[in-house]
Structure 1
């Protein structure tokens, strides 16, 4: 191992006292497991190099959340080219959002996600409020179709998933296909949007375009700041626990799709 080797990441931490996100440069030294932090905005050292046994090299991938001395940091980007080259092919997390028009196809979509080598690390079904939908579509605030987007995304439940694999962001975008389902059916007929979408608004599912976008959107649905995020649609009445075991998932969509369509959606998410 190179004794001077270090890996650098750009991170975000939610400061509950100031109600804002603070950005830090996190340096990790694999030789002795030490860490160092710099305040990006103020250009000063926040934490001098200190040995920290609870952070490991396998924890360092874009989209992951790591705890450093009780601060939960979201890794949003690589801090230098060396880190990007050395760790760029490592695992990433991204958001997979199933929109109201495709919730009925959740079993088939999860089968596609599993077959593509993703691990689903979080899953939540919810109804978005207009404010939550507006925050989610922040990049479209100047677009003439914004109101139509918001009306559609709040018209029924959505399913948000945090998914993990190598090059997760690019691979999930490839599986989704073109944003307009009509174009997707011509360009990539096997893509999710071609199979389950209708047009450029009702296009079945969503995925972030970049590391920063993935981190922001996952924070909306699975916040690390202590807030609850969008309300779960589960009522937890007249329900039970359903566990789908690994061998059943690997055998294909029959078990998974039947379980979601006949038990999870009907009896838990209602």
Structure 2
């Protein structure tokens, strides 16, 4: 790898002030992990070459969303033939739908997904209407257990995940195991359904079996056309808010945090992955401005990548959950 080797991508950023998308040429130098950017419309340098440790080589592929100095960029295309030839990959997106029977094992299942090498790029807990369930199971209409499938999928919240990885569609189906959980325990003992499923209906999770089906199902849960998709599961009573911060999401701790929350008796009644821009982060932390010395660093961290918001429920959750989280400084908390 030469000092001057670099990979070029076309990156797109939505400017909320101008209500338009801006395009940049993003250059990444793997030798020292440095980046530079050029404004494509104005034909000028936007960011001088600088080392940026929070961007990793594995993050560089078309379709991914990355963050550089709190600016969220979508990588929409390769910038030259060399980059396309060297980094063009078989990364795919597919739907991982966690069914109502996954609720009590949500943390463990998410942890297994992350440990299997998948990246979670979207996440939301939802309640399906009967019509949405019928649309989802349109290919199952002639199957004998169709009505039972419909009744089960609308019996409680589901968690829809968009997951990404090399050959994700095939690998996720394999990782799920056979549809009948009893058969999965004998034929694929390490699979999701073998570990957590009960039978052929209550089998914890679903995955599409083709590129076309994955695209259709992802559009149902995460519509790209501006639609809303199924309703979120939030209850807004006897609840408090928990934010899993970007550094924890990047470090693959989401599943472990969710499990720890549920293990002490809290209910997670809503969940959604989202990105905060700087203005949102400043508004969210406004109460700390001028009070906490780390305010600026807190804002930068919160808009440095994806967050996951959780609705935490208990009869009197706010103080109990803050006590469970402990002091904001982990070192101080370890000493008290």
Q: Per chain length, whose mean CA-contact separation is higher, i.e. which structure has more relative contact order (CA < 8 Å, sep 6+)?
A: 1
Aligned counterpart, 2:226: 226
SS at match of 2:186: helix
Q: 2:189 and 2:248 mapped to 1: Cα distance?
A: 29
| Displacement after TM superposition at 1:250 (Å) | 3.9
User: Unaligned stretches of 5+ in structure 1?
Assistant: 1-52, 65-84
Aligned counterpart, 2:261: 259
User: Unaligned stretches of 5+ in structure 2?
Assistant: 1-39, 42-59, 66-84, 270-309, 314-336
Aligned counterpart, 1:110: 110
Structure ID, larger Rg:
2
Cα distance change on mapping 1:89 and 1:58 into 2, 3 Å: closer
**Which residues in structure 2 correspond to 1:69-218 (within 5 Å)?**
89-218=89-218
Counterpart among 61, 66, 70 of residue 58 in structure 1? 61
Count of residues in Structure 1 that have an aligned counterpart in Structure 2: 195
SS at match of 2:174: helix
Q: 2:197 and 2:187 mapped to 1: Cα distance?
A: 14
Aligned residues of 2:99 and 2:158 also touching (Cα < 8 A): yes
Cα distance change on mapping 1:269 and 1:223 into 2, 3 Å: farther
Cα distance change on mapping 1:191 and 1:169 into 2, 3 Å: same
Q: Could you tell which deviates more after superposition, 110-119 or 250-259?
A: 250-259
Q: 2:209 and 2:87 mapped to 1: Cα distance?
A: 19
TM-score of the superposition, structure 1-length normalised?
0.64
Cα distance change on mapping 1:175 and 1:111 into 2, 3 Å: same
